[in-house]
Amino acid sequence: MFSNAYHKLERAKEHIADLQSRFTAFQQTNAYTVSLDYDPNTGLAIINTKVSGDAPMTMAMVIGDCIHNLETALDHATWEIIGLDGGTQDRWTKFPTGKNKVDYDASCNGIKTPRQDTKDFFVNLGAYEGGPGWRLYSLHELDITDKHMIIVPVISTVTIGSISIKSPSFGSATIDGATLKPGVDGKFSLGDLGAHARLKIDEEKKPTLDIRFGEVGGLVHRPVFGVMADYVEAVEGCLRDFSEFVKNRK
């Protein structure tokens, strides 16, 4: 039951594995540079990661394929359950989502099936913004975005191997394995090092990189792999709900 949906889910997982492999291979190249700058306006040491080549665009294609397969898994499950009901399967058959509960409930109740319990099943999934199935709604919105624009990830530095600092504020120091976190603007920084600080990165010790979403709705600056893992978990859980519902209903 729902084998087509699970095939789509497995294909999405393969895309994530492919993305991880591509990203790992990229980190082993010299196709990027990491530099440290001091921002006199904010007092922060900013870490800049510059990428050469088309690696971000190539990864974007894989991310888009993964998103679409996850979304399609839900559509296939919806198609199958309506068929089991003896309902109408047509070109408009898809997994329902909604901007809010009112719109979402209306979409669920508009599904072309004679069984009210199936409509109620979808209502309880709550795939709308702020609902219990908000991740499924977010996935749908991201799939729509990918249909109109390429979701190019941002490659950033999250751990610096070694940095030497000279500052009138506290003299000289060396920081090994500094872990960085993005601010609200998405920039990675070491913090306020004081005026006239001088920074130097040890280029022999490679930094740790990460890929994050850029200007994409509510996913701005969020790690790609973490978000995709959340979507996989949400879709897997939803497909289990489909199976349990059909198995236990009268």
What DSSP line would sit under 97-141, residue for residue? -BSSHHHHHHHHHTSS-S-HHHHHHHHHH--BTTSTTHHHHHHHH
For residue 160, the tally of other CB atoms under 10 A from its CB is 24
CA distance 16 to 66: 7
pLDDT confidence band for 161 (50 / 70 / 90):
low
**Contact at 8 Å (CB) between 49 and 153?**
no
What are the residues whose beta carbons fall under 8 Å from the beta carbon of 173, sequence distance 6 or more? Answer: 164, 165, 167
What are the residues whose beta carbons fall under 8 Å from the beta carbon of 239, sequence distance 6 or more? Answer: 2, 5, 6, 9, 73, 74, 77
What integer pLDDT is reported at residue 208 of this predicted model?
81
pTM of the model: 0.86
Per-residue pLDDT of 116-127, as tens digits, reads 999 999 999 999
Which tokens hold the place of 19? 């993305």
Cα three-residue angle 65-69-72, rounded to 5 degrees: 135
Range with the lowest mean pLDDT among 95-99, 152-156, 226-230? 152-156
Per-residue pLDDT of 22-45, as tens digits, reads 999 999 888 988 877 766 676 666
For residue 248, the tally of other CB atoms under 10 A from its CB is 7
Instruction: Give residue 119's Cα distance to chain centre.
Output: 29
**Contact at 8 Å (CB) between 107 and 97?**
yes
CA distance 152 to 211: 10
> How buried is 226 (Cβ within 10 angstroms: 0-12 exposed, 13-18 middle, 19+ buried)?
exposed
Statement: residue 246 has pLDDT above 80:
yes
CA distance 63 to 23: 12
